Structure 1
């Protein structure tokens, strides 16, 4: 086995850790980041800006962009330890925490990371079903008239999205979903641009810029403080990709060193992301002022141009198909890796079966992957159906995860590595 491993590394079919050669590039990395970061949260930024006002709103968006980049910059140096070029690879955020900060931090940091990812999956189920219902309602209003009831539920759409994700979840890992990230990134650009364009058109139609320096007035100081913190939580939720930086970085080929590519990709992606965030947030607030809706697209109604709103919502749905996978794959990898170590001789865990369908390439199926990933998708879909307003809590969840994971990542990158004299088993 050792001879075969050395031959494969020398022959170029494997990397230095024995894993299949990584093929990720700067642009595939940018696509992964944009898919992870630009989620449906971009549509709530106009509301967040309206709560903070014309000064604090844009400044807060820029500050979160800077904090996210610093976090990603530092975390990218944690992929290899102790040397960022030839050191041993850390395949996940949890690996980096365990190597540098010890197991106690690993449990706490891991709990927050995976809870945040799980919550994001639930939110994506809810958001997707809402967008699908919005398409049906706009078509109903267009056909039946603006006074038609057009009341529809979301349960069917949640189940439909869950079925799609059961299939998509059989994608083995990050290395095999580059195409999905590219499609999702294009969709995120599209609906963000539509939201920005409609906001700009509304400002031109109004002939003035709405809003104020202090933002939307509240009935009391306590209520205003609550709304400001909710807005900050929504903005924090819109910049969440730091928790999967190392997982994305593990897809990159070398040379050049992975950390250099990751830093460049983060700079490009955050610049693009922040541009769209500022455009959607500021033009949305300028268009609606104190009446800025929680979802920017709903502010333009379900009426004309109904086809454009339909198209934007369809883009959101396609984007969230990929976004769900971006936040689910690290959880899949962690659980399946734990089972592989716990049951090294289990055929249920380790055996793969090849299937070939007509007109489609063959694919490999693993029973553990099929059962666990299906159960995971079913659980997120089920919770979304039971608590359809669960996404209102994600601002708090995003703020808590952002508030702990960011300093945790910074600390682990500045601490001296511990236990690195013992080479990790990377095969």
Structure 2
């Protein structure tokens, strides 16, 4: 027989165990992973870091190719489509129900659970090629900005007509070395501070570019503009203008690309309130802030430089003075792109590492985490994983080498925009939303969604053709590893 005292003791032990289990569960989300702590502001910072990138610097050139009417309209249309389809995608974070369903931890997983295996494979190919291309594009852009600082100082000392020529390659190598160290940040959940700093930097250089453009306009030095943009004449054939317009569509599309990492951003949010509702607010904040900056940078830049706006507003030397302010803007660009590089590379890193962990779950090389204490008092701890160390280092080296071979700013941006905008920002979110909501074929809602799909596909095809034509011309006269003008 069990005594009353023993019964009370066992009851206390059980209650203590239940309390401990409740405490343990309080630290975990519904998927038994560590509780997420993200909110609308951290998500907005990630979005702004991802969107306001190198693309903002080409918007004056893009508006110059299209003119006031088509340029401003294109910016607004891409903004509206991006916001709408991003909200559709936010509802696909959980399946089948957007509030209580199972979590999808990546864009590809959302596609797989909503559209099936074939679409999953197609999405993976497009997404990871696009993300890798973005990383290469950011490496190119950051090196151009670093070289622009050196050029700016040279022009200030020797005059604006001085033959200041510098190679971008040392800067790409230096950036690659830095990114090797930063790539050891384990995952998206540890990137919040880097994203906030990068977002602040993006505001910094966009504001400087915008301010310099406005100052040039107010001083009466603005150049001639037109409703239709760059005009056909002796120096420009109708065919070349068409190609340039197509490339401008690609540049503007690139400037709004962030959907391929939206699910990963949403996976950092707290589960209450519902992630899709918080993400919709973050989308609204991110896209609205971005569009405001884009409109001002594109329009002020076009008004300042006219139909011959440079391809890169801060590194194309439309502005020479004050040289220190141009230098500061380019420093902001570099710091921002260092953070954006990590935001876009994390899904690529995670894809291979997750596959390796599933394939070799007992391998110490793949799954082992080794702690290193940092500092004199050994207060800080840093974890090293050998797969993460070797694979991410190799990836950064390959991206750097490819960037050194292909330094074509505007044409690369246009091609990346054409490659990624339609399938990742428009097609897959719309198809997943249709599948999740079981929208009937040929209903008014279905027809409206497919109309958006078709229009964006046609724009993407035009942008791809324009960018390929521009790249072919650039490649025909390019010599690898030469000193840049």
TM interval, shorter chain, is over 0.9
The structure number with the bigger radius of gyration is 2
SS of match in other structure, 2:371: strand
Query: Which of 223, 235, 245 pairs up with 2:252?
Result: 235
Report if the CA contact (8 A) 1:99-1:417 is conserved: no
- 1:116-170 Cα distance to aligned partner (Å, 9 max, x none): 1000100111111111111011112223444543321111100100011001101
SS of match in other structure, 1:51: helix
Q: Does 1:18 align with 2:32?
A: yes
Distance in 2, matches of 1:78 and 1:332, equals: 22
Q: 1:132 to 1:416 in 2, by over 3 A?
A: closer
Report if the CA contact (8 A) 1:137-1:302 is conserved: no
Q: 1:8 to 1:377 in 2, by over 3 A?
A: farther
Match of 2:241 in 1: 224
Report if the CA contact (8 A) 1:81-1:417 is conserved: no
Q: 1:8 to 1:175 in 2, by over 3 A?
A: farther
Q: Does 1:143 align with 2:157?
A: yes
Q: 1:8 to 1:347 in 2, by over 3 A?
A: farther
Aligned pair count reads 415
- 1:68-127 Cα distance to aligned partner (Å, 9 max, x none): 001110000011112222211000110010001111011111111111100010011111
Q: 1:183 to 1:252 in 2, by over 3 A?
A: same
Distance in 1, matches of 2:267 and 2:56, equals: 27
Q: Does 1:196 align with 2:216?
A: no
Matches within 5 A, 1:349-388: 349-359=366-376, 361-388=380-407
Deviates more, 1:408-417 or 1:187-196: 408-417
Report if the CA contact (8 A) 2:310-2:318 is conserved: no
Distance in 2, matches of 1:268 and 1:70, equals: 13
TM (norm. structure 2) is 0.82
Note the residue ranges of structure 1 that are not aligned, 5 or more in a row.
419-427
Q: CA RMSD in A?
A: 1.9
User: Which structure would you say has the larger RCO, counting Cα contacts within 8 Å and 6 or more residues apart?
Assistant: 1
Match of 1:257 in 2: 274
Match of 1:81 in 2: 95
Shift of 1:8: 6.8
SS of match in other structure, 1:356: strand
SS of match in other structure, 1:296: coil
Shift of 1:222: 1.7
SS of match in other structure, 1:206: coil
Distance in 1, matches of 2:216 and 2:205, equals: 16
Note the residue ranges of structure 2 that are not aligned, 5 or more in a row.
1-16, 439-485
Matches within 5 A, 1:94-133: 94-133=108-147
Q: 1:131 to 1:179 in 2, by over 3 A?
A: same
TM (norm. structure 1) is 0.93
Matches within 5 A, 1:27-426: 27-206=41-220, 210-218=224-232, 219-298=236-315, 300-301=317-318, 303-359=320-376, 361-389=380-408, 392-405=411-424, 406-416=426-436
Distance in 2, matches of 1:303 and 1:53, equals: 25
Report if the CA contact (8 A) 1:69-1:267 is conserved: yes
Shift of 1:398: 1.6
Deviates more, 1:83-92 or 1:207-216: 207-216
- 1:318-360 Cα distance to aligned partner (Å, 9 max, x none): 0000100111001111110010111111111010100112256
Distance in 2, matches of 1:11 and 1:251, equals: 18
- 1:27-81 Cα distance to aligned partner (Å, 9 max, x none): 0010000000000110100000011111110110000001100111000001111
Q: 1:8 to 1:369 in 2, by over 3 A?
A: farther
Match of 1:425 in 2: none
